[in-house]
Amino acid sequence: MKYISTRGKKTNTKRFQEVLLKGLADDGGLFVPEALPQFSPEKISELQTLSYAELTYEIIHPFVGDDIPKDVLKTAINDSYAAFNHPAVAPLRQLDTNTWVLELFHGPTLAFKDFALQLLGRLLDYALEENGQRAIVLGATSGDTGAAAIEGCRHSKNLDIFILHPHNRVSDVQRRQMTTVLAQNVHNIAIEGNFDDCQELVKQSFADQSFLPEGLRLVAVNSINWTRIMAQVVYYFYAATRLGAPQKSITFSVPTGNFGDIYAGFIARGMGLPIEKLIVATNQNDILHRFFQNNDYSKKALQQTLSPSMDIMVSSNFERLLFDLHGNEGDTISKLMAQFQQNGQLHVNDKIWQQAKQLFGSYSSDNNSICETIKTLYQQTAYIADPHTATGIRACNELGNATTATVALATAHPVKFSDAITKAGLPVPALPESMSDLLTRTENYRLLGNSLHALKTDICAYIKQY
């Protein structure tokens, strides 16, 4: 398998290990496969009886090729999902005749990010060991990515990890899941700004790594890293094959801010999975919804909401979709992204926009409708959904097709978002036993201004200490 950049030449290809370790392409673009592996209906039928770990190997091995030995890849996969607390790993819960919830919060940090980051940490450690290298993980989080990345990397002997989160803009549980991990190689940094500020600092740091000592490199764990997308493709296949694919088509409703989770569904569809529709579910930070409704991908002031993991206005992975819609023309995407960087606006021609609307639906929910959905769902089914999942369920209710099974992705455990659950008038679930003392554990994090110089100085100060 070869990979190309969304902003580069088609002839400038990379292998999987290069993509794994680089994260972001040198030209500022994102890596995508040169071509997608294809799964026939007969092959998809064979996947129906596999365990989650077995299915993962079948789906991602074509993306990895011989860059990682088969036995190493299988061990990394098995170890990654052994830590989940449900035997199905990603169980389906039926809400009504034709609506299902795919529970993606049974991993060690209670969020869907565990699916990719448990595996990513292990693959990074292997690749660095093979190449005799050490690296610094640098990532930004709107809440869940940070905890999952830290959990996936904290035991690594070849990685130090720096995670940026927006100060006072993540839930208490989300913050403490990061800041109470006191491993020597873990560094939490609160940035005085929002998630987009954190994400931009990460991108700028990757663009110019000259501040690092020779022999050290930055590694991405945000969904700009293709490995994240690759691992998330699996649960679309898992849910669909359990609900009748390939004989039946499935619609998925996906809470998303950075477009990575739903882009994985787009990749699954491109591989042959019969997905009828992908529904983009957003909160009030609705840049994606505005694009699919009005061809309006433009920045607005970021709002702080009850679903903070989606408080994102610049959706990094949207560039990957644009690349596909524009026929993999890197020069075109480079110009579009430069324009967006300059004036905060992006529009595509009508033909391409109509094509996007054929593939995706979208729906936006505000805080009141999120709380209403959480409350009504509980009254009807006794099921408590976190506020992000609630946006997906509400979008299902508004846009789902009565003749097609619709799956809403449940992206986090409700215990992580007590404010929303309380405002919906429901009791907050208890923390799992393994986290029962989370709110009393010692925290350790540093507060920095929204400054690239301050961030680089902080990283270098740490490097000098060791």
CATH of the domain at 322: 3.40.50.1100
Q: Sign (positive/negative) of CA torsion 163, 164, 168, 170?
A: negative
Q: What is the per-residue DSSP string for 47-110? A: TTT--HHHHHHHHHHHHHGGGS-HHHHHHHHHHHHHT-SSTTSS-EEE-SSSEEEEE---STTS
The confidence score (pLDDT) of residue 200 equals 93
The confidence score (pLDDT) of residue 465 equals 58
The single-letter code of the amino acid at 124 is: L
Residue 18 counted as domain residue: no
Q: Is-contact 371 305, C-beta < 8 A?
A: no
Residue 306 counted as domain residue: yes
Residue 41 counted as domain residue: no
Kindly state the percentage of the chain with pLDDT values over 70.
Answer: 99
pLDDT mean across residues, the chain: 94
Q: Is-contact 29 5, C-beta < 8 A?
A: yes
Residue 271 counted as domain residue: yes
**pLDDT tens-digit profile of 411-460?**
999 999 999 999 999 998 888 888 899 999 999 999 999 999 999 999 99
Instruction: Answer yes or no: is pLDDT of 108 > 70.
Output: yes
The confidence score (pLDDT) of residue 63 equals 98
The confidence score (pLDDT) of residue 14 equals 96
**pLDDT tens-digit profile of 360-388?**
999 999 999 999 999 999 999 999 999 99
Instruction: Answer yes or no: is pLDDT of 466 > 80.
Output: no
**pLDDT tens-digit profile of 53-98?**
999 999 999 999 999 999 999 999 999 999 899 999 999 999 999 9
113 is catalytic: yes
What is the domain extent for residue 347? Answer: 89-110+226-423
The confidence score (pLDDT) of residue 9 equals 83
Catalytic residue chosen out of the listed positions 14, 22, 113, 416? 113
pLDDT band at 222 (very low <50, low <70, confident <90, very high): confident
**pLDDT tens-digit profile of 142-180?**
878 899 999 999 888 899 999 999 999 999 999 999 999
Residue 461 counted as domain residue: no
Q: Sign (positive/negative) of CA torsion 386, 388, 391, 396?
A: negative
Residue 64 counted as domain residue: no
Residue 250 counted as domain residue: yes
The confidence score (pLDDT) of residue 464 equals 66
What is the distance between the alpha carbons of residues 32 and 10, in angstroms, rounded to a whole number? 11
Q: Which residue did the predictor score with more confidence, 463 or 308? A: 308
Instruction: Answer yes or no: is pLDDT of 255 > 60.
Output: yes
The confidence score (pLDDT) of residue 432 equals 86
Instruction: Answer yes or no: is pLDDT of 140 > 90.
Output: yes
Instruction: Answer yes or no: is pLDDT of 350 > 60.
Output: yes
The confidence score (pLDDT) of residue 83 equals 87
Burial class of residue 36, CB neighbours in 10 A (0-12, 13-18, 19+): middle
What is the distance between the alpha carbons of residues 298 and 313, in angstroms, rounded to a whole number? 9
Rounded mean pLDDT, 131-152 = 91
Domain count, the chain: 1
Cα separations in angstroms, 155 against 125, 158, 225, 296, 464:
10, 9, 20, 43, 21
pTM of the model: 0.93
Largest CA distance in the chain: 61
**pLDDT tens-digit profile of 14-45?**
999 999 998 889 899 999 999 999 999 999 99
Residue 339 counted as domain residue: yes
